[in-house]
Structures are given as structure tokens and as C-alpha cells.
Amino acid sequence: MDVLADLVQNTLDGLTAGAAYALLAVGFTLIFGVLRRVNLSYGAAIMFGVYFATWTSQHFQIGLIALALLSIAGAVAGGAYVERLCFSPHYRARDNSRADASSGSIAAMVASFALWMQFEEAAILAMPRHLYSFPPLYEGAPLQLGSFLLRVESIYLLLAAIVVCASLHAVLYRTRFGLAVRAVIDVPVAAQLAGINVSSVFVRIFALASAIGGLAGFLIAASSEQVTPMLGMWSTVKGMLAMMLGGLGSLPGAVVGGLVLGLVEVHSQWFFGPQMRDLIAYLLVFALLVARPAWMTRWTNIRSAS
Amino acid sequence: MAALLEIKDVITAYGRIEALRGVSLQVEQGSITCLLGPNGAGKTTLMMTTAGILRPRSGSIRFMGSEIAGAAPHGIVERGIALVPENRLVFPRMTVLENLRAGAYQRNDRDGITSDIERLFARFPRLRERAGQEGGTLSGGEQQMLSVARALMSRPKLLLMDEPSLGLAPLVVEEIFGIIRELHRDGTTIFLVEQNAHMALRVAHHFYLIEQGRVTFSGDPGSLAEDEVIHRAYLGSAKA
Amino acid sequence: MDEYSIGVLTNIGLFSFLALSAYLLLMAGEMSFGQQAFFGIGAYAGGMLTAIFGLSLPVAALAAMLSGALAAFLVGLPTLRLRGLYFAMATLAAAEMTRILFELLHFQRTLNGDLVGPDGTQGFRGIRWVFENGVEPLEYLAMIYALLLVALVLFLLVERSRLGATLRSVGADPELAASLGVDVNRVKLGVAATAGALAALGGVLYAHHNTYIEPRNFDIMLGVHSLAYALIGGLGTAFGPLLGVVLDIGALEGSQVFGGARMIVFGGLVAVLLIVRPRGLLDEKTVHWIRTRWR
């Protein structure tokens, strides 16, 4: 019975971590699914936003909501900077050739990596300590549900994930902007021919993805009550892994991938320890990529991933 | 009076390969103009260049007097040109209705859009039947109609059509060309690319022949060299 | 030459092997985030062979190259079908798994009263063959560059040969290459193994230069950096990745000028560079231009 109790507790914890990963993966997938580009500085812009909020909280008394908004605003600002410098210059192939288009996407990716480095250095220069405390999301004891412990932070995280996904779904399926986004995801050339300003869609999706990332970053920082400069790398890796697990480019997949990653991690760590936790997660991603089961290819909508 | 669309000395390249080597032609307002030519001659490249998907290296494209060469595709739709692309390119994962709404993306008049959709459904009853179905589940002919209908949603002054009969059964091809005649009657100017030279010459007022990136012949149907033209349109001539 | 400059030049040489490794894969059309794994395998294998088993450096280096090639082959085989970002992610996953295996590797022996060998996250110290055999830093530097020169010459020869053309054709359009009779899988595996060996060579030299290595040295950052070297320096020639290394390490050393803001300046420059030169500084056009001027 103890085993079952542990299993349930771990599952609860895994879903909580998974909710955070899901949010990160959704942001990543929005950019990858729509722009067909990998934004390596996604996590770094999130860290930038969270650091901005942290810095502000050290100098002013501000509430949680303000902190969340600052994180989001910082992440969106960071994202806009990245989008302008790394992605928008490469939207239109200069000489109509496919080779140029694919170099453009690799160049954008490498440029985004360079900006990741910039963000990290800027954060460390502004706030040199390895660790800063972040105001807590919830001050109080976890809820006791029978023999299980449920942290209230977990409820916030799961709620946030649900609200974000529901809102995203509403935007995608009930607004004109959402129609344009789905058209661009489906057949970019046809979207252009229908009169959709694809560059403008890209800019707005980037902002949306950054905002979601900023929210995720805030929730992660507030529930662990600390921030480190490693937040950028961590978010990027977890976001990409979760995106991979769920099948590149699919939004429902991103959510599933995030949750699965969270569950796999917690359970692996419980049985095998922290190193095996990461090893198993990577192994799972590798195996899925290599095997590429039919259901995964059906869910993804990538014409070519390069 | 200047033609609705004036293309002059357009050169379009893919990397180092020149697909259009100085194309010049005109599309008169209210006409059905046809571009014939063998595979690889540059017909689709010209359509894509006019629609703004491809950037010309040099040359001029004037629409209603304004220069549009190199403009972004959405700007070209804004000016009143819509392209029904080769291979239809419907949105396979969006419903027929959504495909149509996408075509109307730049419009703000809700009622106008709704009545246009009604009219298109009246013209293409099979699309009405499949309004809630995903584009990818439609047959080739239905997809062609959807692609045309989607282009019409932007109420274009000039409709570009790239090989509308490609891969379709003869009966369906007749239907499509019937629609082309109807559209013309209703006042839309049509610039049509076709491999099916016979069908095309039956509806066109004027046609051009393009070979290896250059316009090599310009005339009206019924002019003497028609058989020769059809021959070259299918097979290409020995000299460019 | 003072010790500091020797150190900088040595680093440039060492990481050039890694950059060339990533570049080789790029030529064949594959973007790898995981070459640092083979760098690490070369480091650990070579280090263990000299420090624990007393083999000489040349022998250990050869063995390290072989293990790098083998490991790359083992990763390359299941991932043959993968392209673009899928392939990149698979290499990332494989490299991280390798790094975690380094963290789990405990293999120590007592030699002359000291415990020698990899000790998980504590690292692997005592890789002292170079010092124990009286190789001066300058001599080591010369050796590294001699090997690098050999690698470069081979690259340049291949680039002009039919093999090079085959590689580039596989990189540009594998379906077309296959239809022209190229055994694309064989080419890709061959490239992967060679790139693995190259990275491993860099790794074993690196281990013996630093005398101490730890799993953290071979993380994702190193991998993305090695890819970036090739993409910034230019994809038109094997000198491209070298240029990328020089620029990055040169910027690191010249950071005195920018205080602690070296990455901020360098990162910004890289992003701007890539706008005007998406294929790097020494891209195909530039190389062509240089070649025609040379005549």
C-alpha cells in the first residue's frame, strides 16, 4: 500500500512539474510550429523577464501579480528583441532558393544562440550572485488530502496550464488571428496568397509565446522561491525535450509531452536517483525520435524540420 | 489605355538559375488571357512572381498603373490580385468554411463575407455539402473549386489561375472552364496558365507562349499559327 | 612566446578539431548538437589509457579516435532516417546521455599511492602524461597544430575531390543524390564516424593539456558552440570553422577591452553578421571570390 501511496504522490508531483514543462513546451512549439524555426534564446528571454521581476522586487515592495506581469513583460521585451534581430531579417529568402531559405533558418537559430549568451551575461552582470530568492507563490502549509500532500503551488501551476491552453485554443479557433495562425501552420504559401501578412503573424506569435514563457518562468521561480542564471538553460532544455516527447510542432502534443516529461522525471528519480532521471528522459526522447511511431508523425505538421 | 497588368522584362531566378529571362506581356481589363508553354518554361514562376511569393531580380510589374514587382504577397492581394495556385494548395487541416474565411482575411465587412460565401456555395453546391469537412478530405475537383472560391473571397479585380485543370477528369475540367467563363461574364479579368492548350484556347481572348523563360509568341485564338503553337506548348520548339 | 599566448593558441587548436567535426557533418547536410560527446569520449578514453594503463599518448590518441568513430557510428546508425531538427535533437539527447554516463563513471586505480581515474562528477584528475614525459607547452602546441594541419590538408583535398562533391550533393539534396546512385546511408555513416574520430582527437589532446576533465566540460553549451563556430566562420571552406574558433576565443581573451561584457558585444556582432551573411563569413560566395582573385 505504501508503494501505491508513493506512486500517487509522485504522480501528483510529476503533474505539477509537468504543467510547468507543458507551458514551456507550448511556447517553444508556437514558435517552432508557426515560424518553423528553433528559438534557442526562448529560455534566456524568460530568465531575463524573471530576473527583471526579481530585481524590481528587491528595490520595491510589489505584489505577486505585479511580479507576474513584470516577468511576462520582460520576457516579451526580450522576445521582441530576439525576433527583430534574429528572425525577421531571415523571413524572406533573398534569392528564392530553398537553400537560402534553409540557411536562413539555421542562421536565425545560431543568432538566437548568440543572444542567449547576451541575456545570460547581462543577467549575471546585473545580478552577480548565483542564487536569488524569489517571493513565494504561496505561503502556507501544503494541503493534506488523506495521506497525500498537495502543494498549493501545484494547484496554481496546473490551473495556469489549463487556463493558458484553453485561452490558446479559443484564440486559435475563434478569432481571425487564430485562423491566420492555423493557415500559416498548415500551408504558409497558401496563407500568403490568401492575403495574410505572415510577418505580422510571426511577430504576434513570438510575443504570445514569450508571454506564456514569462508566465511559466514566474510560476517556476515563485514555486521554488529562487532564481538562478541557469534558469535560461534549464527552461530551454526542458521545453525542447517536452516538445520532442509530444511530437514536434503539435500544441496538444506539447502539453502531453510536458506532462509526460514531468511524470517520467519524478518517477525515474524516485526509483533510480537524479542522474538516472535525466538519463531516462533523454533516452525516451532519443527512442521516440528514432522509432517515430505512426501516431507521432500523424500529429506533427512539419513539412521539413530544417 | 494601359492594360490592367503590364509585365515588362521580368527576370526571376532561383539562386543562380534564371527561370524567367526577361518576360514581357500584358493582360487587358475584362479579358481572359492565357499563358501556354511546356513544362519548366516558367509559367508557375511568373504566376508566383506576380503574386509576390517570388522576388524578381529585375523588371517591372504594373497593376492598374502602380508598380508591384517585389511587393509582399499580402500587399498584392490588397491591391486586388488573387492567385489560384498550381496544385490547389487548399488548407488540408482546415474546414471548407475556414478555407473560405481565410481567403477573406483582409476584409472587415462581416455581412459582405457571409453573402459572398452564400453566393459561392450557390455557384459550387458541392462545397456547401462539405462546408464542415477538412480540405484534405475533398476530391481533386472539389479542391480546385475550393481553391478558386477561396481566391474569389477577396473580390479580386484580377484572378490568376495556375493550371486549374491539372490532374482532373475531363468532365471536371469542363466544369472548371465553365466557371472561368462565368467569372469573366461577371467582370473578373482572368490570367490563366494552362498545359491543356486546347481547352485554354477555347476560352481565351488572347494568349502568349512562353518557352525557356521568355515569351516567344503572342496572338489571338484563330490566328494562323495555332497548331504550331499548341505543338510548341506541349513539347517546346527546337530553338528557344 | 609567453605562457599565456601559448595557452590561448593551444585552446584555439583544440577546439578547432571540434569545430571541424561539426563542419564535416554540416557539409553532409546534418546539423549536430552533439559533437561534444565524442570530444568527451576521446578525452576520457585517452586519459584513462595513459593515466591508468600507462600507454603512450600517440597510442592512446589513436585508440581515442577509434572509440570516437565507433561511438559516432552507434549514434549515427539509428538516426539515419532523421533530418533537420529531429536529427539535431537526437544528437543532443545522445550527447547528454553520454555526459550523464561520464557522471556515473567511477573507475579508479591506485597508482604509486594515488587514486587515478574518473570519479563521476568529481572529475578525472592526474592526466599527466605530457608533463611526465617532458613535453614543453610549446612543443605540445606545435604537435597540435601539426595534426590540425594534416586534418586541414585532408579537408582541402577532399573538398576538391569527387568525394567532396558527393558529400555536398548529399548535403544539398539527398534524394537527388540517391537517384544518381549515391549510397547516401554509407556516406552519412562514414561522415559521422570521421567526425567522431576528429572530435575525439581534439578531446584526447584537450584532456592531456588540462590534466583534469569533468563531465561538465562536455555539456550542451560546448556542443552549440562548436556548431556556431562553423556557422559563423563560414560554410564555404574548412578554414571557416577555424575562423569561428579564433573569433570566439580571441574575443574571450580580448574581453579586457569590454570589461565583463564580452558576450554581450560578441553576441550582438554575431547576430548582425548572420543577417548579412547567413552562411558565415567565409561562405561559398566569398570563398569563390577569394579563389578567383588568387589566380
- Minimum CA–CA partner of C276 in chain A: A89
C-beta atoms of B12 and A96 within 8 A: yes
pLDDT of amino acid B235:
61
Using CB atoms, list chains with 3+ pairs below 8 Å to chain C: A
pLDDT of amino acid C277:
87
C-beta atoms of C271 and A286 within 8 A: no
In a domain, B175, yes or no: no
Expressed as residue numbers, the domain containing C62 is 3-218
Q: Which residue stretches of chain C have pLDDT < 50? A: none
In a domain, C272, yes or no: no
Cell of C295: 589566380
- Minimum CA–CA partner of A243 in chain C: C89
In a domain, C254, yes or no: no
pLDDT of amino acid A304:
34
Structure confidence by residue, pLDDT tens digits, A122-141:
998 888 888 888 888 888 88
Average pLDDT estimate for A243-268: 89
In a domain, B18, yes or no: yes
In a domain, C233, yes or no: no
In a domain, B222, yes or no: no
Using CB atoms, list chains with 3+ pairs below 8 Å to chain B: A
In a domain, B112, yes or no: no
- Reply yes or no on whether the pLDDT at A227 is more than 80: yes
ipTM (interface predicted TM): 0.92
Using an 8 Å CB-CB cutoff, list chain A residues near C271: 85-86, 111, 114-115
C-beta atoms of A113 and C224 within 8 A: yes
C-beta atoms of A121 and C81 within 8 A: no
Q: Which amino acid is at A150?
A: L
Check: CB of residue C96 under 8 Å from CB of residue A274. Answer: no
Confidence of residue B6 (pLDDT cuts 50, 70, 90): very high
- Which of residues 141 through 180 in chain A touch B, CB cutoff 8 A? 176, 179-180
Q: Where are the alpha helices (DSSP H) in chain B?
A: 43-50, 73-79, 96-103, 110-123, 125-129, 140-152, 170-185, 197-203, 226-235
Structure confidence by residue, pLDDT tens digits, B64-82:
999 999 999 999 999 999 9
Q: What is the largest CA-CA distance in chain C?
A: 63
In a domain, B63, yes or no: yes
- Which of residues 168 through 197 in chain A touch C, CB cutoff 8 A? none
Which neighbouring-strand residues pair with C115? C110
In a domain, B40, yes or no: no
Burial label, B18 (beta-carbon count in 10 A; 0-12, 13-18, 19+): middle
pLDDT of amino acid A92:
80
In a domain, C60, yes or no: yes
Structure confidence by residue, pLDDT tens digits, A170-201:
999 999 999 999 999 999 999 999 999 999 99
Nearest-CB residue to A279 (from C82, C97, C266): C97
In a domain, B26, yes or no: yes
pLDDT of amino acid A301:
46
In a domain, C291, yes or no: no
CA dihedral B9, B12, B17, B20 (to 10 degrees): -50
With pLDDT > 70 as the criterion, what percentage of chain C qualifies?
97
Domains and CATH numbers, chain A: 2-299 (1.10.3470)
C-beta atoms of A107 and C101 within 8 A: no
In chain C, DSSP finds a helix count (H) and a strand count (E) of 13, 4
Least confident of B105-109, B115-119, B217-221: B217-221
Structure confidence by residue, pLDDT tens digits, B130-149:
999 999 999 988 999 999 99
Expressed as residue numbers, the domain containing B5 is 1-30+51-71
In chain B, the number of structural domains is: 1
Q: Please give the full DSSP string across A46-95, using - where no structure is assigned.
A: HHHHHHHHHHHHHHS---HHHHHHHHHHHHHHHHHHHIIIIIGGGSS-TT
- Reply yes or no on whether the pLDDT at B236 is more than 80: no
In a domain, C269, yes or no: no
C-beta atoms of A275 and C104 within 8 A: yes
Structure confidence by residue, pLDDT tens digits, C104-148:
999 988 888 888 889 988 999 888 888 888 888 899 999 999 999
pLDDT of amino acid C133:
87
C-beta atoms of B54 and A97 within 8 A: no
C-beta atoms of B53 and A179 within 8 A: no
Which neighbouring-strand residues pair with B161? B84, B192
In a domain, C283, yes or no: no
pLDDT of amino acid A163:
94
Does residue A225 belong to the interface with chain B, where contact is any CB pair within 8 Å?
no
- Reply yes or no on whether the pLDDT at A306 is more than 70: no
In a domain, C214, yes or no: yes
Q: Chain A to chain B, count of Cβ pairs less than 8 Å apart?
A: 90
C-beta atoms of B94 and A182 within 8 A: yes
Structure confidence by residue, pLDDT tens digits, B200-223:
888 899 999 998 999 988 888 876
Using an 8 Å CB-CB cutoff, list chain C residues near A289: 79, 82, 86, 89-90, 93
In chain C, the number of structural domains is: 1
